[in-house]
Amino acid sequence: MSEPTSTGVPTPTAGRIPHGPFRAGDQVQLTDPKGRRNTITLQSGRLFHSHKGSIAHDEIIGRPEGIVLRSTGGTEYLAFRPLLHDYAVRMPRGAAVVYPKDAAQIITMADVFPGARVVEAGAGSGALTCWLLRAVGEHGLVSSYERRPDFADVARTNVETFFGGPHPAWRLTVGSLEHALTETDVDRVVLDMLAPWECLDAVAKALVPGGLVCAYIATTTQMSRVVEGLREHGTFAEPYAFETMLRSWHVDGLAVRPDHRMVGHTGFLVTARRLADGVVPPMRRRRPAKGARPEETDAVQAD
């Protein structure tokens, strides 16, 4: 196996979100009356074109956010800088992105705080990395590990595009977590990978007592293996597994109802706290369902 390589060395002045009037190089989200959004990068002398006419970039540069622009076809557009959740779902992708509803739960349920030392594996397309960097701030540290160099390149480009350059709290390493992880005294570990149960030894060594691991997985089979792996490892408290549904509402006068579409299942989350060294977790008191474990089924059949 080749040696892991580090990329994305930060600079002390990068990572800040622009404010004030629009400038050349800024991203702008143009929203039409039907709610359709187009994101452009401002360049002097360029035009935004659609079937509803065009808007000159120079009409936007130097003006504040929240303005209304009229295209040559007479359609009005709202102009704002895109929010992170807008950027995340539309960013160029190598791997699938972690959607905003799950990223919000990861930040909340993993209790990612300003100044935290966080390990992330894998980096994917960089969407979750952006959320983690927002949460830890410039005085924290997010160490991202990605096995595939092509995915790492996409993640680095997406993160630096959103923050306007290398973020001072980010380290990106090309390599597998179980072989490349050298950090200790880590506060949080976030696993977005196919087989997170394979790296629990490395996670346990890296986390401080009281630290937390959060696994993001797609299927019930993966969720079961992660939960059972955490229980069997012996260095973690009882895992907590859950998922989140998101449903928007239509509100127009007295017509108030749920929208017909919702963001249903995207993934499962499993969290668990790191125990102090040498501590044996207490026995679970909740009885599993009859036949929940293979050995119980075998015993019944033997009878």
Q: Mark 155-180 as b/e (b = at least 16 C-beta within 10 Å).
A: bbebbbbbbeebbbbbbbbbbbbeeb
Indicate if the pLDDT at residue 214 is higher than 50.
Answer: yes
pLDDT of residue 10: 38
Least confident segment among 8-17, 64-73, 267-276: 8-17
Indicate if the pLDDT at residue 299 is higher than 80.
Answer: no
List pLDDT tens digits, range 238-259: 999 999 999 999 999 999 999 9
Indicate if the pLDDT at residue 287 is higher than 80.
Answer: no
H helices of 164-252, where? 177-180, 200-206, 220-233
List pLDDT tens digits, range 141-172: 999 999 999 999 999 999 999 998 999 999 99
Per cent of the chain over pLDDT 90 is: 71
Count of Cβ atoms closer than 10 Å to residue 15 Cβ: 22
Angle, vertex CA 173, rays to CA 231 and CA 185, nearest 5:
50
Question: Where residue 261 falls among pLDDT bands split at 50, 70, 90?
Answer: confident
Maximum Cα–Cα distance across the chain: 82
pLDDT of residue 122: 87
pLDDT of residue 285: 72
> Residue range 56-68: average pLDDT?
96
Q: How far is CA 5 from the centre of its chain?
A: 22
Q: Helices then strands (H, E): number in the chain?
A: 8, 16
Nearest CA among 233, 204, 227, 234 for reference residue 292: 227
pLDDT of residue 292: 66
Mean predicted lDDT score pLDDT of the chain: 88
Decide if 274 contacts 212 (C-beta within 8 A). yes
List pLDDT tens digits, range 71-127: 999 999 999 999 999 998 888 888 888 989 999 999 999 999 999 999 999 898 999
Indicate if the pLDDT at residue 303 is higher than 70.
Answer: no
| 150 vs 175: CA distance, rounded Å | 12
Q: How far is CA 79 from CA 55, 124, 228, 259, in A?
A: 11, 29, 49, 25
| Residues in binding site for S-adenosyl-L-methionine | 125-128, 146, 192
Question: Where residue 3 falls among pLDDT bands split at 50, 70, 90?
Answer: very low
Least confident segment among 17-21, 27-31, 194-198: 17-21
Please report the domains of the chain, with CATH numbers, ordered by start residue: 27-82 (3.10.330.20), 86-277 (3.40.50.150)
Question: Where residue 14 falls among pLDDT bands split at 50, 70, 90?
Answer: very low
pLDDT of residue 295: 60
Per cent of the chain over pLDDT 70 is: 88
| Residues in binding site | 125-128, 146, 192
pLDDT of residue 96: 83
